[in-house]
Amino acid sequence: MKKQDTEQYRDIVINRIESHFGVSLSQVIGRRKWLKDNRGRKFWVLVGSKTWHGIPEEMMDSEIHNPSNGVLVIAKIDNKISNVDISIYHCPLEAFVKNRNKLSRARRGNNDYQFTYKEERGMAIVNQESTIALHKLPVNL
Asked if 14 and 35 touch (Cβ cutoff 8 Å), the reply is yes
**Residue 11: count of CB within 10 angstroms of its CB:** 10
Q: CB neighbours of 15 closer than 8 A, spacing ≥ 6?
A: none
Which domains are delineated in the chain?
3-136 (3.40.1350)
Based on the number of CB atoms within 10 Å of its own CB, is 97 exposed (0-12), middle (13-18) or buried (19 or more)? Answer: middle
Helix (H, G, I), strand (E, B) or coil at 93: helix
List per-residue pLDDT tens for the chain, 141 residues long: 455 567 788 999 999 999 999 999 999 987 889 999 999 999 999 999 889 999 999 999 999 999 999 999 999 998 776 788 899 999 999 999 999 999 999 877 678 999 999 999 999 999 999 999 999 998 644
What is the C-alpha separation between 41 and 70, in angstroms, rounded?
5
**Length of the chain (residues):** 141
What is the C-alpha separation between 67 and 96, in angstroms, rounded?
12
Q: How many helices (H) and strands (E) does the chain have?
A: 3, 10
What is the C-alpha separation between 79 and 85, in angstroms, rounded?
7
What is the C-alpha separation between 13 and 71, in angstroms, rounded?
14
